[in-house]
């Protein structure tokens, strides 16, 4: 294979050498100092700069952030698509077909909106992997993918870590063919109690867990069954939902050994 395995790799190389190149650290620092000075001026402590000057500085800083995000996101897409390409001829044909599809173009266009909301690399990586795993499993439906992208940007690394622990505990329950819908609560309760009794949750971090559980539930990835106001962490039972299982698997590293039937 040549220097660039994909057209997108060559495009990123051009971006880096042209106007989307990441600004030098000194330039960013200067911009921040300039913004701070203008805020002081507008507050009446130094001079009298017009508000429009501050807005222009903020717009410039936001644009630089977005450009950096775009480059990082694009790099991750190239890396992950390359990983798919190496999975064999069948996967290569699927990748080539989907990369030319309207669904893929729409997914990438939608992602460029979400990635403007964060400059945290792990979150940008999640967004890219949602798309590439969607290619892997031929599943780029716009609405659920948009919801997952929103979660990828909104959730913290601690949230994902806790979701992973719940996933490890309850994924077998969701995948078993004999899931008893009439006694779902009882089954979840049993799995959750076993999870808590295993020592997976550190009681000293209960406030961190509560914040993460709240965010995960607000995104529709888990569901709380009951609330006891005086309960210690772990006594409130949470169920992993299908969307939680799918989301966690889709943000994993490409090539991670996951059973396609799980998604």
- The one-digit pLDDT tens for each residue of the chain (263 residues) are 444 455 455 555 555 555 555 555 455 445 545 555 555 555 555 555 666 766 676 677 667 778 888 889 988 988 898 888 889 999 989 888 888 888 998 999 999 999 999 989 999 999 999 999 999 999 999 999 999 999 999 999 999 999 999 999 999 988 876 566 677 888 888 999 999 899 998 888 888 899 999 999 999 999 998 655 545 555 688 999 999 999 999 999 987 655 444 44
Q: What is the dihedral of CA 18, 19, 21, 22, to 10 degrees?
A: 170
Whose structure tokens read 């700069």? 49
**What is the pTM for the complete model shown?**
0.78
Q: Please check whether residue 38 is in contact with residue 53, taking contact to mean a CB–CB distance below 8 angstroms.
A: yes
What whole-number distance in Å separates Cα of residue 81 and Cα of residue 68?
Answer: 20
Name the β-bridge partners of 42. none
User: What's the gap between Cα 105 and its chain centre?
Assistant: 19
Domains of the chain, CATH where assigned? 7-154 (no CATH), 157-262 (1.10.10)
∠ CA 167-171-173, nearest 5°, is 135
pLDDT of residue 261: 44
Q: What is the dihedral of CA 203, 206, 212, 213, to 10 degrees?
A: 80
Q: Which two tokens stand for residue 122?
A: 């792990």
């Amino acid at each position: 294979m040549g220097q660039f395995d994909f057209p997108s790799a060559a495009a990123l190389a051009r971006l880096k050498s042209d106007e989307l190149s990441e600004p030098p650290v000194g330039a960013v620092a200067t911009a921040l100092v300039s913004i701070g000075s203008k805020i002081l001026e507008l507050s009446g402590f130094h001079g009298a700069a017009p508000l429009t000057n501050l807005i222009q500085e903020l717009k410039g800083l936001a644009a630089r952030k977005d450009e950096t995000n775009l480059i990082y996101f694009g790099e991750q897409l190239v890396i992950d698509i390359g990983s798919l390409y190496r999975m064999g001829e069948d996967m290569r044909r699927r990748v080539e077909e989907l990369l030319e599809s309207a669904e893929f173009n729409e997914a990438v266009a939608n992602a460029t909106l979400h990635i403007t909301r964060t400059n945290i690399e792990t979150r940008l990586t999640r967004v890219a992997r949602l798309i590439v795993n969607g290619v892997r499993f031929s599943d780029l439906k716009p609405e659920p993918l948009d919801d997952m992208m929103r979660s990828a940007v909104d959730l913290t690394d601690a949230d994902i870590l806790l979701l992973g622990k719940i996933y490890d505990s309850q994924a077998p329950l969701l995948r078993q063919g004999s899931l008893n819908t009439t006694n779902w609560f009882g089954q979840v309760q049993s799995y959750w109690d076993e999870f808590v009794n295993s020592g997976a949750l550190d009681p000293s971090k209960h406030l961190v867990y509560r914040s993460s559980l709240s965010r995960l539930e607000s995104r529709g990835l888990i569901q709380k069954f009951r609330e006891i106001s005086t309960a210690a962490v772990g006594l409130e039972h949470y169920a992993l939902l299908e969307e939680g299982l799918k989301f966690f698997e889709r943000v994993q590293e490409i090539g991670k050994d996951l059973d396609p039937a799980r998604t």
